[in-house]
Chains A and B, each alone.
Chain A
Amino acid sequence: QSALTQPASVSASPGQSITISCTGTSSDVGGYNYVSWYQQHPGEAPKLMIYDVSNRPSGVSNRFSGSKSGNTASLTISGLQAEDEADYYCNSYTSYSTPYVFGTGTKVTVL
């Protein structure tokens, strides 16, 4: 079972929008609406940003949104801000013997 595939890095200027993809298979991303996204700043624990593909926890900015099409999930950050510079990881429930798998991670840089 391999990690979900994410781009290594994405960058944009403040105020712009970016989209991070997370590609899996029909046994994970494509098979369940249980994709979540986590933000991690250096030296800190991950923070839940999106759950169940497109739901935002209380307190998370509405600039963050999630979606899914087939075996690929996406996280979009609109109106990019300096504080959004961090690593982002997707996660999916799976039908494999290992019930959860993370993505490879994406470093977001605000230019």
Chain B
Amino acid sequence: EVQLVESGGGLVQPGGSLRLSCAASGFTFTNYWMHWVRQAPGKGLAWVSRIDFDGSRTNYADSVRGRFTVSRDNAKNTLYLQMNGLRVEDSAVYYCAGGARGAYYFDPWGQGTLVTVSS
């Protein structure tokens, strides 16, 4: 069964840090770009970041560039998102999603992990 399971969300104060993880199973992880997408409470989806198959290329949304870092450990089939300098507006459910080699869409998706930035 294809599965993505996020973890690491929680409550953090403004300016704090958090690291999200996304464990993949049921598919060949190294054949997928991996993405982070977030959804603020009651709001729409927003693309956050992506990393290529071996971690050599990354991209970020303007709103998180310089504060967030995406990485992956292919030996552990795990994707990460290190979030520093967190702001209230970063509060959201964070989803990881896969993009197969040559694909410009997101499938599969994880169930999401909630990040709340509040004092």
Contact = CB atoms under 8 A, between A and B. Distances in A.
Interface of A: 1, 3, 32, 34, 36, 38, 40, 45-48, 51-52, 57, 89, 91, 93, 97-105
B53 interface: no
A93 B106 CA distance: 11
B62 A98 contact: yes
B61 interface: yes
Interface size on B, as a range, is 20 to 34
A48 B104 CA distance: 12
B47 A57 contact: no
Contacts of B44: 3, 89, 102-105
B95 interface: yes
Contact of B106 (A91, A98, A103): A91
A45 B113 CA distance: 11
